[in-house]
Amino acid sequence: MRLVELAVEKKRSQMMQTAFKTGLTSVETVRLSQELDEMLNVFIPPHHEEHQHNQQPKLDKK
């Protein structure tokens, strides 16, 4: 596992433990969630989101 993946997993684990102890909407949980979001925005390549959209089934619009 790469260092980036380890850092993301550590932050996710910290956020989940905090949410369990203090609740999903606690200030600390929300702060950790925002930090995790920032990490993911930095480390996920821009084409990753586009690739996932291409994997979703297309729905017929009528």
Res. 19: pLDDT tops 90 = yes
Residue 56 within a domain: no
User: What's the rounded mean pLDDT across residues 11-36?
Assistant: 98
Structural domain includes residue 38: yes
> CA 44, 29, 12 angle in degrees (round to 5)?
35
- Name which residue leads in pLDDT, 46 or 28: 28
Q: What is the residue range of 10's domain?
A: 3-44
User: What's the domain count of the chain?
Assistant: 1
Asked if residue 59 belongs to a domain, the reply is no
In-domain check, residue 51: no
Which comes out higher in pLDDT, residue 1 or 37? 37
pLDDT tens-digit map of 31-61: 999 999 999 998 877 765 555 555 555 555 5
Residue 57 forms part of a structural domain: no
Asked whether residue 10 is assigned to any structural domain, the reply reads yes
CA atoms of 16 and 12, how far apart (whole Å): 6
